[in-house]
Structure 1
């Protein structure tokens, strides 16, 4: 890693926390950004010399602007941005109300939009950077019971490709990691029958560990991926091999 400062949203738990640990282990200073201040503090306590916690609501532009100002003042200009924060709730599409649809879209799609808009200018001025968006295989192939979520994550995939085109000349790469079922607090909240069915559908016959998703993110954030941009990588144990 040549970049020194990273911002990771959703760093309080699950995949986001694993990403924070992976980047910090490579020598990067990591801003752990999350709506869950206590969870972010738990993450940073594991390596306080490499991490600092920040509270942010990524669905609110003003909150994102404060985050950028605070991180830059404390740590310097971030040249790695990982949009890992997300939110979901299983349920029928026809039963979803307007409030639910707006929240799903605000967190899972507009959040990455606002984060990219706020942090890209600093990367452009710095002469390069890495953006890694964590979407979902639901956004690649669809997912019953997660239709609006899948639509928002599909938007993140398209956002990744379009932003990658716009900033390529600034030596900024923008890539996307799409996890399949992963052992996170959200997955553990699912009905046991659904968890068993998902596990059985995966060729490896097990769900992913957060660290396995974090490894893909760390690759895209590293110098080893300097000539890769606008790409979408599924980390699903072979669950979705096409598309």
Structure 2
């Protein structure tokens, strides 16, 4: 069950976080949790790109922040929040929130492999987006739907992801074992429209300010050559390609 405190805005269907000021004041500053360096890049490399577009599906906690980070990555042409790991019939926010559907909140990332590799996508995922050592949770959110997971879209992606997990474990770059699961053969289902571009549409939302804006800052600091100021928005109001 999620630990986020939500209420529905009448007629809007928008999730609003109810956070007490005292809780925020007692918690460590987001900057304290930022990684000090980028993790090593994957050693395993894929074949030379044959297509102009590729798709990655990743889950690393609440999809608002995962989508928001990748929308600011150069070479990414789109990022859509959604659900992966379960059936189409249960791919709905209120149902997934029960934690028993098999779904994880995930993001489908479309990118130009000539500009950014799948391996680099994974490097950003582990360096900036989330803490892969947290089992069935991420930050304030708890439940199987917030697990760390990679959903390979091809055998090549599965090979690169598996090799990278082995590489990171062997290098002991984290203080605890990596809990990320590798789940091939799972379909992705887009989330409800009110979840799309949530970070960009709600930059002052308490959850976004505390949990996700530091990730954007870390992306800019650790991967300056890959940071893009204008996001690739689902709505199309942002810059679509770079």
TM-score normalised per structure 2:
0.29
TM-score normalised per structure 1:
0.29
Which is richer in helix? 1
Q: Which has the higher contact order (CA 8 A, sep 6+)?
A: 2
